[in-house]
A and B are shown apart, each in its own frame.
Chain A
Amino acid sequence: MNVRRTALRVFTHAALALVALAFLFPFYWLLISAFKSKSEIFTLPPQWWPSPWRLDNFEQLFATIPIVRCFANSLIAATGHCALALFLCSLAGYAFAKFPRAPGHGKLFAFVLATMMLPTAITLIPVFHVLCKLHAVNTYWAMIVPGAANAFGIFWMRQYAAENVPDELLDAARIDGCGEFALYRRIALPVMRPALAALGILLFIGNWNNLMWAFIVLRTQDMYTLPLIIYLLNGENRTPFELIMAASLFATVPLVAAFILFQRHFIRGITAGALKG
């Protein structure tokens, strides 16, 4: 009925689709480069579609670099970090939400909030120093433990628990003789699941993608995480770009796949971190 409006809408869709393609372009480039030989990556005019799709890069990657081990390291570090942080933050967050009359409650919480303002950049050296003292450099612990006592995590969990865990239910269970830890495990934790998922995704992605800390605390190839091995391959002489592309694809696909499956949770989780400011 309204030609101009329809035209405008079609145009908007087309323009947005173009921008979306531009956003996808680096992923497309990563994908096709992982299946090219090194010389094919750099030929001009560029090869827009690998012919043939070579699997050599992956064969060589598995043969020359402990990439599976690195994948496992990344997975252990990120999962461990996530599990530890979620346990600490949910337990303490629940306590801050549900025991408001404990002496010192307000001061302790204000203290946690205040430390949220301080950037991690300040603590890099001392944390590294502590890990040295504990002989934890080049172990999984170095990737798992620092940052697990996350002030933002407590804040996030407390907010959710205060609003969503019903006091009546806790009191009823208490009267029935349920222990305090069982209250947390059986009643609070299941209710807090959405908040746990959001925080967990935020922490997992941060840990999985972390290059700087891995660079500082991991020393031997058998302990490297994926970002670190990719970075170090990149720094080698006669940089093996074809292997780097294959390894990069290897590091990117799991998160992208998970993101596509659990889009809403991911966006909620990652933007939850924005509250930190």
Chain B
Amino acid sequence: MPSIEPRPGVRDCAMKTPLKKRLWASRHFYVFIAPFFALFAVFGLYPLLFSFYLGFLQWDGLSPKQWVGLSNFENLLHDEILFASLRNTVTIGLMYIPPMFIGAFVFALLLDTAWLRFRGLFRAVFFLPVVTPMVVVAIVFGLLYGQEAGLLNYVVEKLGWERIPWVVSESWSKPSVAGLLVWRWTGYNMVLMLAGLQGISPGYYEAARIDGANAWQRLWYITLPLMRPTFVFCTIMSLIGTVYMFDEVFVLTQGGPGTSSTNFGLYLFNTSFTDFKFGYASAMAYVVALFVFLASLLVLRLRKREEGTDQ
């Protein structure tokens, strides 16, 4: 619209003032963000780029770096332990996420009911594992899981069953890790779900009650659909957490026996800081991060599409 010519003098100042002046006017902004960006450049940005570059090298941190092109990435395809660790990650996830989710949701529903007493106390107890050092949790669970003198096997024997080789057998190491994870993370997810529940407008429930919906129907037709974003969010968080978790397996099972409980996080650590294959580890970290990112995106997409068909 060329006819609307701004009167001289009242044009947008930002348009007229030269960049130099605008920069000078905002100098405090740059001064305030400078310390952050200085550290960020050294400990955030540079590592990201350097790590990408390392993916094409062979390097143990001491001897000279050697350019190997794409061979690190090719080797990934034949890495049995990598695939075992990814399978373990998925298996452990499938073992602990469903019970944790159901537990967290039931506790959240209960803590959200008006008649429940000692709500603060219950919430605190369920949340307590989250503030406990993981190394301590893993050591205490290691004692409880003990083959000969562990408390769990004592109970198992009292019940007339045979002792279970919790952390010393390939078939039980994953469920044992999963048990620890349920204990550790249920309270955390409970709090997130509680926040989700409290975000649902009471008006929906009122309306449903007036229409004669009973408690189950209200749960099924109102709570569950409206909680879906929270569920998706918790799922993505748990998936990412399982891929990169470390302390849990490092202390409880050292990833063993064999590689039966080695998840990706532990394998990456071992490749980096036990075998000192810096180049290979960087390639691996980038590729898996990319897949994790794509998987999270996919979960989000699926939810969006579902929402689209609902309406």
Contacts and interface: CB of A to CB of B under 8 A. Distances in A.
Contacts of B48: 115, 118, 122-123, 126
A122 B122 contact: no
A263 B32 CA distance: 33
Nearest to A126: B47
A83 interface: no
B168 interface: no
B251 interface: yes
Given A23-B129, A103-B23, A130-B46, A91 B32 contact: yes
B133 A209 contact: yes
A103 B19 contact: yes
A157 B43 CA distance: 20
A174 to B, nearest CB: 11
Interface stretch (A57-65, A190-198, A224-232): A224-232
Contact of A129 (B35, B61, B233): B61
B216 interface: no
Contacts of A178: none
Contacts of B195: 271
A175 to B, nearest CB: 16
B188 A88 contact: no
Contacts of A205: 131
A269 B262 CA distance: 30
Nearest to A42: B149
Contacts of B141: 26
The B contact surface, by secondary structure, is helix
B32 A92 contact: yes
Contacts of A91: 32-33, 35-36
A24 B125 contact: yes
B247 A211 contact: yes
A265 B180 CA distance: 25
A95 to B, nearest CB: 4
A54 interface: no
Contacts of A27: 128, 132
B285 A234 contact: no
Contacts of A231: 135, 251
Contacts of A216: 273
Interface in A106-149: 108, 112, 115, 117-127, 129-130, 132, 145-149
A96 interface: yes
A230 B139 contact: yes
B130 to A, nearest CB: 6
A123 B131 contact: no
B183 to A, nearest CB: 7
B70 interface: no
A117 B293 CA distance: 8
B47 to A, nearest CB: 3
Which of B47, B61, B144 gathers most chain A CB within 10 Å? B47
5 contacts: A29-B140, A181-B28, A271-B188, A271-B195, A274-B233
Closest 4 CB pairs of A and B: A126-B47, A102-B26, A95-B32, A99-B29
Interface of A: 9, 12-13, 16, 19-20, 23-24, 26-27, 29-30, 33, 41-46, 87-89, 91-92, 94-96, 99, 101-103, 105, 108, 112, 115, 117-127, 129-130, 132, 145-149, 151, 154, 180-181, 184, 205, 208-209, 211-212, 215-216, 226-227, 230-231, 234, 241, 244, 248, 251-252, 255-256, 259-260, 263, 266-267, 270-271, 274, 277
